[in-house]
Structure 1
C-alpha cells in the first residue's frame, strides 16, 4: 500500500513540474509555428493585396494593371535586384525543402515526442544559402549531420554542410552549396567580335620569311690558338716522360714497419 502511495506522489510531482509536456499540440503553438514557417509567403500576399486595393481605389484599371505588372518586370530587369530576389526565394525554398527532408529521411532527426528542428532563419551566402537551426531537447547536431546526404538533393544543390556553434550547442547552421566562387571560368575577349569573320590566309613564299641559321657559340677550346694547344700538349708529354724515367725509391723498413711515406 505504501508503495502505491509513493508512486502516486511521484506521478503528481512530475505533473506539477511538467505543466505543458507537449506544447506543439496546443492550438496556439500550432498557429504560431504556421505563421513563422510561412511568414515570407504571408507577408508577400498581404503586401500584394494592400497594393492592389490601394491602386483600385483610384478607379483606373490601366493604372492598377500597369503597376502590378511593371514592378515585377522592373525588379527582374535590373541585375542587382534580380539576384537579390532570386537568392531570397532560394532561402524560403530551402527552409521548406529541409523540413520535408528531415521528415522523410531514414535517419532519426525527430524526437520521441515528434518535435522537428526549428528552421528559424535563412540568409544567402556567396556559395548558396545558410539556414540556422534550433535543436529541440532530445536532438543533436550529429543527427542533422547524418542527414546531409538527403538534404543536398532535396534542395537541388551540389552539397550540404553543417556548421556548429561552439558557445551554444543548441544552435547549428546548414550550409547549402550551389556554386563554387573559386572555380576557374573563361574570360572572353571583346576583340574576338572583330576577328571571328576573318579567315586566316594560307601561308606562301611571299608571306613567309625564312629564318637564317644561327652559328654555334664559340667555346673555350676553339678560342685557343693551335700553336698554344700544341705547346701545352708537348709540355704534358715531357712531364709524363720525366716521371716515367724517375727511379722508384726502395722501401725503408724498420722493425718490420714500412716508413717510406715518412722519409723523403
Structure 2
C-alpha cells in the first residue's frame, strides 16, 4: 500500500509509490534541422501538388482574357459542344487519362505510406523516418522505394504488409529487400488483379472462347483432349500379314514368325519354334 504524507505548509496529501503517468510516456527527441533542409524536404514531398498549383495559376493569370474572349465570341451551343467533347475525352480510356490516373495514385500512395510509417513508429533513435525515394506505377498498382536511414533495416517492416495495404487502400502489399543494397526496400502495392475477370479470351481455343460453358462441354475440343481409344492387340498365336512389294512389281505377303505354346494333357507346356519344332528342352 502506498504511504500518504501530508505537506505541512500546504496541507496537501501526496502518495508515494509508482511513478506518475507523465513519466511512462516515451518521448522522442527529433534532431535539430536547419531551415534550408526543411524547405527542400517539403518541396520534394509536395512537388506534384506544387507543380499543378503553379500550372493552374499560370493559365489563369496569362490566358484568362483569351479564354473568356473565346467563350464570349462563340454561341452557346458551340461552347456546350466543346465542353462535352472535352469531358468525353477526359473520361474515355486514352494515354493522357491513364497517365494522369497513375500519377494521382502514385502521389496518394506516397503520402499514405509516409503516414503509415509515422503511425507505426518506424523511426530510428534520432526520430527520422525512412526516406521515400520515389513511387512508380505498375500494371497492378504502384511500387514504392524506401531508403532506410542509419538505425533502420528491412526487419523493421516485417509483418507490416497488411498494415501498409490497409493504409494505402489496396488489396495486398509485398515487402522485399534489394539484393544489392540492404538499405533499399521495395514495397509493391497491388490494387487490382488482372486475372480476376470471369471471362478470359484465349487464342488457343479460337472459336470456342466465346461459347457458354454448357456448349464447351460437348465441343469437339473437349473430345480431342479426352483419352485415346484402346488400340486393338493381336491375339496370341495369330499371324499378321502385311503386303510387301518386290522389285518386279509383284506383291507378296510377309508372314510374321511368332512363338506359340501348346498345352498337353499332363499339364506340361510345349514350346514350339517357328518351323514347328519342339524347343522346350532349350528354354
| TM norm. shorter chain > 0.5 | yes
Q: CA deviation at 1:115?
A: 0.5
1:166: which partner in 2? 179
Larger radius of gyration: 1
Structure 2 residue ranges without an equivalent (≥5)? 1-29, 73-78, 202-206, 208-233, 236-262, 268-283
Q: Does 1:89 align with 2:89?
A: no
Cα root mean square deviation, aligned: 3.7
Structure 1 or 2: larger strand share?
A: 2
Q: Distance in 1 between matches of 2:93 and 2:149?
A: 42
Q: Does 1:152 align with 2:165?
A: yes
2:239: which partner in 1? none
Decide which of 167, 188, 193 is 1:180's aligned counterpart.
Answer: 193
1:22: which partner in 2? 31
1:139: which partner in 2? 152
Structure 1 or 2: larger helix share?
A: 1
Q: Which has the higher contact order (CA 8 A, sep 6+)?
A: 1
Q: Does 1:118 align with 2:134?
A: no
Decide which of 72, 75, 85 is 2:90's aligned counterpart.
Answer: 75
Q: Which moved more, 1:42-51 or 1:145-154?
A: 145-154
Taking structure 1 as the reference length, what is the TM-score of the superposition? 0.57
1:60: which partner in 2? 68
Taking structure 2 as the reference length, what is the TM-score of the superposition? 0.53
1:202: which partner in 2? none
2:45: which partner in 1? 37
**Paired residues of 1:102 and 1:147 also in contact (CA < 8 A):** no
Q: Indicate how the Cα distance of structure 1 residues 44 and 142 shifts in structure 2: closer, same or farther if over 3 A, else same.
A: same
Give the count of matched residue pairs: 180
Where do 4+ consecutive residues of structure 1 move more than 4 Å?
Answer: 61-73
1:211: which partner in 2? none
